[in-house]
Amino acid sequence: MPLFRSALPQLSGRPFLTDGGLETSLVFLEGTELPCFAAFPLLCSEEGRSRLLRFFEPYIALARRYRAGMILDTPTWRANPDWSARLGFGEAALAEVNREAIRFVTDLRHRYAEANLPLILNGVVGPRGDGYKPEWVMSAAAAADYHRVQIEVFAASEADMVSAVTMTSVAEAVGIVRAARVVGLPAVISFTLETDGRLPSGQVLGSAIRETDAATDAYPAYYMINCAHPAHFETVLAEQEPWLEWLRGLRANASTKSHAELGAATELDIGDPPGSGAPLRRSPETTARIERAWRLLRHRSPAHRGHL
């Protein structure tokens, strides 16, 4: 039975950690072969599950050390029909591997959760396309239908929420939110940004968030940014706009390279991790805006969030 689906604890103001890029870490740091950059096939073997376990354990220990909670993402970013078909997974096998992904993070919670270490089970949905290129142009209705099966699997499990990660367009994000709403799963939308602070589709982040929110009756629990260096969205966070109050999470790259450069890379560019947060601290105005957004967000829940 889901523990936090009706009340996500990260909305209470307590800091929560996520992992630091599963697929990138496995490929570049551990030398794991991931065809199509897909981690979910690892769930099909004991060796693969052991690799996943070794990846997650240090993050859980870090959350415990800093008295934070942690959001346990399922390794299902590529576990949708198009990508799984390339890897030889049929419809039934795909549904089962998504169920296995939830069982995997459920086992982690049973093993490591403590009274002061809440672990949130998060079903991850990735884009139909590449993740950095808006190559699939779908309507919101088509996106809802496309991602529906994966989201229904999460809804029938112990998952507390669903996150759409590395979203490149509003239409696909809206479809995912609508599919999650039908089955009663809290939904989070995480857009990825290019070096100019815009979505790969070219849309400005604030416009994308407002449009998504308006098309879904403000259903998303919150929004995030992922796979972008802080310098790429520094000016975005400095804006004086109400939608920033809905921005709850960041999963930033340490590398300042563009998505095209990273996609073609054969070696990991670790960038300057200690310096990656500098853009967020550079401007007192930016810092004040982020802190204000955090204070407002910590007291909000999906039920109380309204339109702009």
Q: Could you read off the pLDDT of 110-127 as tens digits, one per residue?
A: 999 998 999 999 999 999
Q: Which residues pair with 271 in a beta bridge?
A: none
pLDDT tens digits for 264-297?
A: 655 555 655 555 555 555 555 555 544 544 444 4
Model-level pTM? Answer: 0.87
Q: Residue 184, by phi and psi: left (phi above 0), alpha (psi -120 to 50) or beta?
A: left
Rounded distance, CA 101 to CA 180, Å? Answer: 18
Instruction: Give 105's pLDDT tier (boundaries 50, 70, 90).
Output: very high
Phi and psi angles of residue 155, each rounded to the nearest 5 degrees, phi first: -65, -30
Q: Report whether 72 contacts 62 (CB < 8 A).
A: no
**Polymer length of the chain:** 308
pLDDT tens digits for 9-56?
A: 999 888 999 998 899 889 888 899 999 999 999 999 999 999 999 999
Domains of the chain: 9-301 (3.20.20.330)
pLDDT recorded at residue 20: 87
Name 271's Cβ contacts closer than 8 Å, sequence gap at least 6. 229, 253, 254, 255, 256, 257
pLDDT recorded at residue 271: 58
pLDDT recorded at residue 65: 95
Q: Which residues pair with 48 in a beta bridge?
A: none
E strand or H helix at 161: strand 161-167
pLDDT recorded at residue 101: 98
Rounded distance, CA 288 to CA 168, Å? Answer: 28
Q: Report whether 218 contacts 307 (CB < 8 A).
A: yes
Mean pLDDT of all residues in the chain? Answer: 86
